[in-house]
Structure 1
């Protein structure tokens, strides 16, 4: 039976992590819009500019698994502090270079890689930390708050703020971003360190053995593999279509560039509402049924994005898709956390996210090829159809009976905050 006093204490601890994540993501959002603008002051070569994004995602593809394994061997709160401090120092150095006029494209590449490295460490570690902070019945609520905060800070507030500050002074968004990461460090300093019972001796266990154990833990769970397929195909479909939204708005709908922001705002509103209310909506149906109907609705909305001819309709469909995808994410991420033992949360989650991130890269290429061959509408229709078909297929492995029959791991029983 839940203990209200104990639950309140857990939630108070989570709020510190939540606030630290909010300030970090606000800084992320500002840099998301300001960094390409800085690149344009150095070069106009499109390949050189897009390479910045490639360097930022490279750590996810190459280092996510070892960094996730690190989160199982080292205190997770300490890792979050290190990642935030690392970002604060790196961005502050770039702000200093910009203020003195000493900027080279290679600096942006280096910053993008180091920033991506810290982001990979932070995201993998925070995903593993949340289940050890909140009570089990608070997990959906906590994940919903984090997802909503991520959407608002990265898509709503951060980018316009970063662009506006850049117009005032080139170094301003980076200076404020460094301050945001600094605040996150201070908030994380208020989090207690965690004493966790280890399933192995961290001083003698080899890293490669830990990774192998994580792979076995992931592949040995049909539910985890099915959830990964669900996320991977969803990311593939979204990257194949969302990467074409700007061309869709400007070319197919013959609108202006400023209208593109309204379309993205629709998706951000839906995602925000899904993050805030997704846990409540998810309780209306059993988890397997929720994963099924959100997949079908998302697929239908994605297909319709390629067929509508008005910006308002496009924005409304983006809002609908954002809401159901975020609702699905809140339920799926919470289920994933319950299926993984605490001592393996970091590495198994990293394996999970490495595969789904790779699917996003494949999806973007596939969407561009389809658009070039058949036109801008077809990637949306095909991707939507794939997602709709995926729902009933995966429901065989993600059925309510299978989920109910799988005993959840009591992650919070493995350690205590001190």
Structure 2
């Protein structure tokens, strides 16, 4: 039985962290639209421009697991402060370079890599921190609020603000973004340090041993692997399909590029609602059932997007998909947190996310190849059908009985320890 006073205190602490995350995500959103615009002022070579994005994702593939291991060895709040401060200084440096006209494409590559490295550290650490800030029964609610905030800031408010400021002054979105990261860092300083819970009496281990233990912690959990497969297939399908939505708007629906924002807004609205109410939706059914129906609905909607013949229909379908995907994320991420012991949350989560992020990169390439070979709408049909077909198969691996049995066994083990 929960203690109301303790619950309120935990939620107050979480709200401060939530405010810091909101400031950080707003800065992320502004840079999401402004950084490609800077690249366009330096070069029109498509490969050079896409390399900027690649440099931001490269740290996830190279350093996610080591940084996740670090999050289990060093106080997580300290790491978040370092990541936020690094981003504030790096973005501020870019704003200064733009204001003085001393920007080179190589500098943009280096700073993009730095932003990506700090983001990898921040995201890996923050996902491991949330379960230590709130009570177990508050986990879905907390994750839902964070996902909703991330969606609004990254997809709704940030990109239009960044683009508008860029039109006024090239350095403006980066100056404001630097201020946003600085505010996030300041808000983190008022939060108490949060040490991960280590097993009492256990001898200190080396970094390499901890890293290997994190990999074993992932590979030794069939349920975690199954959940990773679910997330990985979802990311692959989303990347394969959503990477072609802009072309769908402009070429197949013969609309202006400006209307692409309307379509994205539809997806953002659905994602916001899913993040806000996903925990309540999840309580109506058991976790495995929620993961099943959200997977099947997402696959059906993805296929329908390929057949949409009007912008409003396309935007509505994006909203539905955003809702079910965020609902699934709230339930899935909360389940993942319960499956991993606190002292291993950082490194095991990092292994998990490295694999799912790699699936996103593969999906983007797959979508382009399918569109080139078969036509623009076929990638939506194919990946949607694959997701629907795999739903029942995944449900066998992520059945309610398996989830409950694994959680029960883990709880018993932790109580003995």
Return the TM-score normalized by structure 1: 0.96
Alignment of 1:116-265 (within 5 A): 116-199=116-199, 205-265=205-265
Q: Structure 1 CA distance, aligned partners of 2:43 and 2:308?
A: 37
Say which SS state the counterpart of residue 102 (structure 2) adopts. coil
CA displacement 1:346-379 (0-9 Å, x = unmatched): 0000000000000001101111000000001110
Q: Structure 1 CA distance, aligned partners of 2:197 and 2:268?
A: 40
Match in the other structure for 1:403? 403
Say which SS state the counterpart of residue 398 (structure 2) adopts. coil
Say which SS state the counterpart of residue 255 (structure 2) adopts. coil
Match in the other structure for 1:376? 376
Match in the other structure for 1:44? 44
Say which SS state the counterpart of residue 160 (structure 2) adopts. helix
CA displacement 1:216-257 (0-9 Å, x = unmatched): 111111110010000000000000000000111111111111
Q: Structure 2 CA distance, aligned partners of 1:201 and 1:370?
A: 55
Q: Structure 1 CA distance, aligned partners of 2:165 and 2:226?
A: 43
Q: How far apart are 1:201 and its partner, in Å?
A: 9.3
CA displacement 1:251-298 (0-9 Å, x = unmatched): 111111111111111000000000000000111111100000000000
Residues 165 and 172 in structure 1, CA contact (< 8 A), matched pair in contact too? yes
Residues 299 and 386 in structure 2, CA contact (< 8 A), matched pair in contact too? yes
CA displacement 1:174-207 (0-9 Å, x = unmatched): 0100000000011000110023442499995222
Q: Structure 2 CA distance, aligned partners of 1:7 and 1:200?
A: 25
Say which SS state the counterpart of residue 406 (structure 1) adopts. helix
Residues 72 and 196 in structure 2, CA contact (< 8 A), matched pair in contact too? no
Task: Structure 2: state its 5+ residue gaps.
Answer: none
Say which SS state the counterpart of residue 284 (structure 2) adopts. coil
Q: Structure 2 CA distance, aligned partners of 1:196 and 1:283?
A: 28
Is 1:332 aligned with 2:298? no
Q: Structure 2 CA distance, aligned partners of 1:176 and 1:407?
A: 44
Q: How far apart are 1:104 and its partner, in Å?
A: 0.6
Q: Structure 1 CA distance, aligned partners of 2:258 and 2:76?
A: 42
Distance 1:201 1:374, change over 3 A: farther
Residues 76 and 196 in structure 2, CA contact (< 8 A), matched pair in contact too? no
Say which SS state the counterpart of residue 194 (structure 1) adopts. coil
Distance 1:18 1:376, change over 3 A: same
Is 1:13 aligned with 2:13? yes
Q: Structure 1 CA distance, aligned partners of 2:200 and 2:343?
A: 9
Match in the other structure for 1:72? 72
Residues 73 and 202 in structure 1, CA contact (< 8 A), matched pair in contact too? no
Distance 1:45 1:339, change over 3 A: same
Is 1:285 aligned with 2:285? yes
Q: Structure 2 CA distance, aligned partners of 1:26 and 1:197?
A: 31
Residues 214 and 344 in structure 1, CA contact (< 8 A), matched pair in contact too? yes
Return the TM-score normalized by structure 2: 0.97
Q: Structure 1 CA distance, aligned partners of 2:161 and 2:141?
A: 28
- Equivalent pairs, count: 412
Residues 197 and 342 in structure 2, CA contact (< 8 A), matched pair in contact too? no
Task: Structure 1: state its 5+ residue gaps.
Answer: none
CA displacement 1:306-354 (0-9 Å, x = unmatched): 1121111111100000000000000000000000001100000000000
Say which SS state the counterpart of residue 195 (structure 2) adopts. strand
Q: Structure 2 CA distance, aligned partners of 1:92 and 1:227?
A: 39
Match in the other structure for 1:322? 322
Residues 291 and 332 in structure 1, CA contact (< 8 A), matched pair in contact too? yes
Residues 23 and 184 in structure 1, CA contact (< 8 A), matched pair in contact too? yes
Alignment of 1:295-374 (within 5 A): 295-374=295-374
Cα RMSD (Å) of the superposition?
1.5
Match in the other structure for 2:61? 61
